[in-house]
A and B are shown apart, each in its own frame.
Chain A
Amino acid sequence: MDLFMPQNMYMNYSYDGLLWKISKIKSGDAVRLDLSKIIFIRPEAIILLIILSYEIFVKLNEPIEWININNEVHLYLERMDLEQLDFVRIQPVRKQIQWKKSKKDSFNLTELLIIKKPKDCEAVMKRTKEMIIKWFPDKVGQDYCRILPTLITEIAGNSLDHSTHGICYFVAQKYITSLSTKIVVSFGDSGIGIQKSLKNSNQWIANNDVYAIKKAFLEGASCRLDRSGGLGFHHVRAVLQKYGGEIIIRSGTGVISYNPKQDLRTNAFRNPLPGTQTVFIL
């Protein structure tokens, strides 16, 4: 079965049909992810593809092939070092790309960084800072270097705590538009999600993902039985209020989008996303 990836794989878009199809996959099925509709890809889409591939891999116990990849998207994937994922196989391009590969650091993109243990956070922070300094050798870079380590440890910490195989995937990319320059930072894990985590310590949490995400993000609800924790999201919000930026969190069927300058936006879908995905637009 070839699953067609939608053209827009943004966090706040619905891909209910795709998630429903994935939920129906059984052991022994032959599944490939068809990326032919994707002509432009963003960090959150990469993380999403990885998470979905892992979900399918767990069911089938064999690597998932990504097929029919547009040349430019293929080049983008090459820059991300996806070979490090043992559950993904990328179909080689049909037309040989003639462009010379440049050094990775010259691009506005980090490779896929994987946090498996707490100490990996430091390596990811260092690598991200290294890239940021290259992207922004001025004062802006210093601000990003101040913000990003905190965001990385707080979000990755949640992933390590609540992910079934304790892995957090991370990608950052610099975007230059005619109006501004931004960094998009995307995290993802295939854990149990925010609602189930909170239910460990708060039996009263409603079976509603949007409510659970809001509870964690806005009120600092903790999933720990000793009530410690719950500060991470609180601090992330404080950082966004101080420095500006936007966060989108998708867990289960819920998604919330927070920007200190706007009202909180929420949305709910029919089929749950495995784990939790977080995107910062800074």
Chain B
Amino acid sequence: MLLCPWGFHQNQMKPFERENNVERDILLIDYARKEGFTESLALRPVAKSIYNQVLNDIKKVSSGDIINCIFAGIEMCDVSFADEFIINLQKLVMSVDNALLRIMDANDYVQENLEGALAIRNKKDRTKICLLIFSNNNYTIIGDIEKNLKDTFSVIIANYQITAREIAQKYDIEINSASNRLKKLFDLCLLQRKESIDEMGRQHLYYLPK
């Protein structure tokens, strides 16, 4: 019997069903060039224009979709751009069940400004929006989340998929609390999920795309 690092029965989980997820890549450098920029993304009107172009190109975000927002080649992205483009894109993704936005190849400077934009927007609108960074095959979160959610997330990234029951066992908490933690992360669009049926019954399997 295979055991996960914290001792769960890995063979209880169904293999990760990649075919359900459609990945869409948004190569931002291409859009930046169309706007006359070569290595930066700045200003709100530019962000609005790129947002409309992207919507036009990806047509529709559907349930289970993974949107990869790729910053390769972008040296700088200002807070206004981050707010108007990235945060609005995340809001759009959050409105679609089980969709996920991944920020990829964002350098420290871009990430710092994304963090700045999130902090101000969340404070101003009293919202709770976070972003998922995928870099070097590793996930991190930008934005303010509670410590217990951070801990839960770190458990998920160690194994890419998990159930509420496993979280409950790991932290010795009620299954409802574990389920709430995962649901919160899912609602923030930081995880995807699918239904899994095994000998323990029907449950949600929360995961991060590998």
Show the binding face of A for B, using Cβ within 8 Å: 117-119, 121-122, 125, 146, 149-150, 153-154, 157, 160-161, 220, 228-232, 234-235, 238
Interface positions of B from 67 to 110, Cβ below 8 Å from A: 76, 78-80, 83-84, 109
Residues of B whose CB lies within 8 Å of any CB of A are: 35-40, 42-46, 76, 78-80, 83-84, 109, 113, 116-117, 119-121, 124
Minimal Cβ-Cβ distance residue in B for A232: B80
Q: How far is the CA of A194 from the CA of B163 in the complex (A)?
A: 53
Report the minimal beta-carbon distance from B52 to chain A, rounded to whole angstroms. Answer: 14
Chain A residues within 8 Å of B35, by CB: 118-119
Q: Which residue of A lies closest to B81 (CB)?
A: A153
Decide if B45 touches A161 in the complex (CB within 8 Å): yes
- On whether the beta carbons of A160 and B43 are closer than 8 Å, the reply is yes
- For B36, the closest partner residue in chain A by CB is A119
Which residues of B have CB within 8 Å of A235?
79, 113, 116-117, 120
Q: Residue on B with the closest CB to A146?
A: B109
Q: In the complex, A243 Cα to B57 Cα: how many Å? A: 39
* Chain A interface helix/strand/loop/mixed: helix
A238 CA / B46 CA spacing, docked (Å): 23
Question: How far is A154 from B78 in the complex, measured between Cα atoms in Å?
Answer: 8
> In the complex, what residues of A have CB within 8 A of residue B113's CB?
150, 235
CB-based contact B40/A118 at 8 Å:
no
Inter-chain CA distance A146–B84, complex, in Å, is: 21
- Give complex CA distance A218, B109 in Å: 24
CA distance A153 to B47 in the complex (A): 13
On whether the beta carbons of B120 and A234 are closer than 8 Å, the reply is yes
* Chain A residues, Cβ within 8 Å of B43: 118, 121, 153, 157, 160
- Cβ contact of B79, chosen from A146, A154, A160, cutoff 8 A: A154
B contact residues around A232 at 8 Å (CB)? 79-80
A157 to B81 Cα, complex, angstroms: 11
Contact of B42 among A157, A229, A231, A238 (CB under 8 A): A157
Chain A residues lying within 8 Å of B117, measured Cβ to Cβ, are 231, 235
Chain B residues near A238 (CB-CB < 8 A): 116, 119-120
14 A–B contacts, CB within 8 A, in A order: A119-B36, A122-B37, A122-B39, A122-B40, A149-B42, A149-B76, A150-B76, A150-B78, A153-B40, A157-B44, A157-B80, A160-B45, A235-B120, A238-B116
A220 x B120 contact (CB < 8 A) = yes
The interface residues of chain B lying within 8 Å CB-to-CB of A118 are 35-37, 42-43, 45-46
- Assembled-state Cα–Cα distance A154/B79 (Å): 8
**CA A146 to CA B109, docked complex, whole Å:** 7
Assess whether A153 is in contact with B109, with CB atoms less than 8 Å apart: no
Whether A230 and B124, one on each chain, are in contact in the complex, defined by CB atoms closer than 8 angstroms, is: yes
Whether the pair A228, B84 counts as a contact (CB closer than 8 A) is yes
Contacts of B109 in A (CB 8 A): 146
Q: Which residue of A lies closest to B49 (CB)?
A: A118
Query: Within the complex, what minimum Cβ distance (angstroms) separates B123 from chain A?
Result: 9
In the complex, how many angstroms separate the beta carbon of B163 from the nearest chain A beta carbon? 39
CA distance in complex: A117, B37 (Å): 11
- B contact residues around A160 at 8 Å (CB): 43, 45
In the complex the two chains form, what is the Cα distance from A50 to B43 in whole Å? 24
- Known A118-B46, A235-B116: A229·B40 in contact at CB below 8 Å: no
CB-defined contacts of A153 to chain B, threshold 8 Å: 40, 42-43, 78, 80
